[in-house]
Amino acid sequence: GALLPEHEVVVIDEAHQLEDIIAATSGVDLTGGRFTALARTVAAIVSDTDLVASLDELGPQWRTAIAEERGRRLRGALDGDAARVLSLARTRLDATMGALRAVPDDGPGDVGARKLRAIKATTSLLDDIDHITEVRSGEVAWIEGTEDNPVLRVAPIDVGGLLADTMWPRTTAVLTSATLPTALPEQIGLEPDAYERLEVESPFDFGAQALLYCAAHMPDPRSAEFDTAVHEELASLITAAGGRTMALFTSHRALAAAVEALRPRLEVPILAQEDLPRPLLIERFTAEPETCLFATMGFWQGVDIPGATLSLVTIDRLPFPRPDDPLLQARREQARADAFRLVDLPRATTLLAQGAGRLIRTVTDRGAIAVFDPRMATNARYRWDFIAALPPMPRTKERAEIEAFLRALR
């Protein structure tokens, strides 16, 4: 089907996310909730309570069948309980379709419209079950979610071909982002002669407004000493900044460890991501300058906190994607020797730039970015890719220098 409704020009903001968004929306998701929702829809126009109950019970059966397989990438046909539930579902959905077609179109009220919606929902579910049963070449299937709400997903490994066939030949598009990775055109199916690239200079003078601190002396991020070293760095820099810090973490575990270690130690309040809903958390952090906000991936992008409330953004580790992400695993296999360059490095550099971008939001903002991962300063293979992803600004490896810089801003 069409990716977009009729249009003359499409503007895609935050275009660095386009590959993942298309992969998520052009695939298939199957949860137990879809069976439950369909049962409610059918119950409104079909009087066969046994049929409705048979649909409704598919929801918990599907959840039970796949819950223990969360995190697993599917390599081949489904088997066991999952295959049994889908076979049962197909039989019951066929019976549901027959019952729906028997409902008169000219029934009372809006029965005709509700019948059409129910038929469309049933057809969609049948189609998705067929898709899941026969995963196509060029797709990857896996199970994720929570124990109470697991989901089986199927997604295209490479969305470039899909976009090249269905979108780029038919549309004029403007793709914008503060961080567009150089590999993006290749990832989304744009040929080199099919687009023009325009870089608009930032209105901010990062050379005068910001400082980048790369903590070269830190232990290896994989070592047992790393968390403690991060906590020491945070304590010193937060004290120098007088609060006013957004500390970004690459995992919930690291966030929880930092909150536990530093709340009893620091005089300034620490707001943690799980303390309040996101809007209230940002509102309180903005209203109370001498406060810190500790957060994970949900705050690396789309958070705008200008002014003196924020003068320090810290990043615990270079944000490389998880090695066990099933979709990225499949993309790495497809990219082979180029996997790091095409899959991991663009995502990590883009996300670092997004996280660092929380700092300078107006021409009067000033502050520092601190990266505690020593690879940012020492890894000859890719350190310059990360530095190049950030706006040009003064850099230091000396903690005393960033502490003096932060104290001068207070």
pTM above 0.85, yes or no: yes
142-39-24 Cα angle (round to 5): 30
- The pLDDT tens digits of the residues spanning 292-343 come to 999 999 899 888 888 889 999 999 999 999 999 999 999 999 999 999 998 9
In the chain the domains, ranked by start, together with CATH numbers, are 27-156 (1.10.275), 206-409 (3.40.50.300)
> Residue 265 is encoded by which pair of tokens?
């130690």
Residue pair 257/272 in contact (Cβ under 8 Å)? The answer is no
CA 160 to CA 168: how far, in whole Å? Answer: 10
Question: pLDDT, tens digit, for every residue of 228-260?
Answer: 999 999 999 999 999 999 999 999 999 999 999
Token digits of residue 93: 């959905």
CB-based contacts of 408: which residues, under 8 Å, 6+ apart? Answer: none
Question: For the residues 188-211, what does the mean pLDDT come to?
Answer: 92
The model's confidence at residue 1, banded by pLDDT at 50, 70 and 90, is: very low
Query: What pLDDT shows up at residue 198?
Result: 92
Name the one residue in this structure whose structure tokens are 């270690």.
261
CA nearest to 289, candidates 271, 262, 265:
271
Between strands 210-214 and 395-396, the pairing is: parallel
pLDDT band at 2; cut points 50, 70, 90? low
Angstrom distance (rounded) from CA 134 to CA 125: 14
Mean pLDDT computed over 157-184: 90
Confidence (pLDDT) at 307: 86
- Number of Cβ within 10 Å of residue 107's Cβ equals 12
- Let me know: does 62 contact 85? Beta carbons within 8 Å: yes
Phi first, then psi, for residue 9 (nearest 5°) are: -135, 140
Q: Is 389 helix (H, G, I), strand (E, B) or coil?
A: helix
